[in-house]
Structures are given as structure tokens and as C-alpha cells.
Amino acid sequence: MGIKFTGDPKKAERNLQKHKLSFKTGEQVFGDPFVLIVEDCIDPITGEQRYNAIGRARSQALLVVTFVEIPSGPAPEEIHIISLRKAKIMKKAPMPAKSRKSTKTERIEVTPVAQRKGIKISARTRELYEKRNRALDDDPDARPLPPEKWAHAMRRDEFFRPIKKQTTVRLDADVLAWLKSKGQGHISRVNEILRNAMLAEMKR
């Protein structure tokens, strides 16, 4: 992905003692193809936009990482980790047999984040948030976010801007003609097709 990770050594040590998780483990969350990223708050001291990412580390532990994105121009993206902790998983009641969906792989059309109306928040989710441990609200690095925030979370490919690398590729004449028939930007279309294929394979 071409991401550079940084973090304050003192905060990293404090996080390890408090949550038993290292910042190195937090880096693994950004390699999860299903990671979700949502805006948190503006840091009152630095004025930087904070984000929360929820995803799985290689151990399959579900983690929440609080971070800021450091502008780096054409260089690899820089993620400055502030804290991480284990996500609290809310158990769902099993679905009735008749309402269970097929486990067959299906093509899913995802609406761009700018065009989404948001995910519908259930009454149960709101109830659990209202009954949360309010002592965590005072955590300056990883306070719980209300459900409405997560309703507009971004996927990894919507948040990150992958670094472009120049290469040369030879295409069959009919394939190139088909790409050009779709309008301007046929080279970008090649990248889009390959990225969709890559993400689909990573979900298997």
C-alpha cells in the first residue's frame, strides 16, 4: 500500500501497558481489505483531523485505531497512530432460517461515499451506545463514537490515494478498442478494472 507509519514512543508504551497492544499491531489493521475508516474529531491542540479505523490484525483480533493522516505530497502516505484498543463486539441474535441469505459469492455494487445516505442504525445499536461505559468518554485518544459517525464510514480504497507507478503494458487490439469505446480515460479504466479484480480476490 505504500504507507509510512509513525507514532509517539511514549504514547506507544502507554498504549501497550493499558491495552496490551503495540502500535506495530495497529499497523496491521490498515492491511485488512475490509477496514472501515471514519472521521473522529479535530485535535484541539494541533488542529489536525483525527480518524478511527476498525479492522482485523493478522491475529484476527478486531481493533480500533485512532490516527491522523500527515500530508506527504508525492511521497508514501504517512499515518501517525495515536492509540489502539480492542473493539467491543455486540452479539446479534441468530437470524431465522427463512431469512438467511445464500452464502454464494455475489457481485456487490457499492455506492460512492459522497452519494450515500448512510447506514440505517438499529434501535438496539442506539440502546447499547446509550448504555456504554461513560468513563471511556474521557479518554482523550480513543473515545467511543456515536453510531451516526460509523454510518458514513469509508472503505480503505475510498480513504487512501494509492501511489501511481508508471509501467508499460501490451493489450489486445480488441480489448483496447473496447476500453476506448467507453469514453475518455481508458488508461484509468484499466487501473479501475484491475483494482476491482484485486479487491474481489482479496475477499475470497
Question: In degrees to the nearest 10, what's the CA dihedral of 159, 165, 170, 175?
Answer: 20
pLDDT at 92: 47
Residue 103 in any domain: the answer is no
- For the chain, what is the mean pLDDT? 75
Put simply, whether the predicted model's pTM sits higher than 0.75 gets the answer no
CB 67 within 8 A of CB 48: no
d(Cα 33, Cα 129) in Å, to the nearest integer?
A: 26
Tell me how many degrees the CA angle 143-147-152 measures, rounded to the nearest 5: 105
Asked if residue 113 is part of any domain, the answer here is: no
- For residue 116, tell me if it sits in a domain: no
Q: Examine the domain organization and report whether 129 and 181 are in the same domain.
A: no
Q: For the chain, what percent of residues have pLDDT higher than 90?
A: 17
3-state DSSP assignment of residue 26: helix
186 and 145, same structural domain? no
Q: Tell me, yes or no, whether 32 and 78 share the same domain.
A: yes
Answer whether residue 69 is part of any domain.
yes
**Would you list the DSSP string of 35-82?**
-EEEEEEE-TTT-PEEEEEEEE-TT--EEEEEEEEEP-TTSPEEEEEE
Q: Are 143 and 48 in the same domain? A: yes
pLDDT score at 13: 95
Structurally, the chain folds into a number of domains equal to 2
Q: Are residues 127 and 198 in the same domain?
A: no
pLDDT digits (tens, 9 = 90+) for 50-90: 888 988 998 888 999 999 888 766 556 789 999 999 887 55
Kindly state whether residues 19 and 60 are assigned to the same domain: yes
Task: Check if the beta carbon of residue 68 is closer than 8 Å to that of residue 83.
Answer: no
Residue 104 belongs to some domain of the structure: no
Same domain assignment for residues 18 and 73: yes
Rounded to 5 degrees, φ, ψ at 86 are -75, 140
Q: What is the CATH number of the domain that holds 145?
A: 3.10.450.530
The pLDDT value given to residue 107: 37
191: which DSSP letter? Answer: H
Residue 15 lies in a domain: yes
Q: Kindly state whether residue 100 falls inside one of the protein's structural domains.
A: no
Domain that holds residue 81: 3-90+123-159
136 and 197 co-located in one domain: no
pLDDT of residue 171: 87
Span 126-163, pLDDT tens digits:
787 787 777 777 766 666 777 777 666 776 666 665 65
Asked if the structure places residue 114 within a domain, the reply is no
Residues 193, 132 share a domain: no
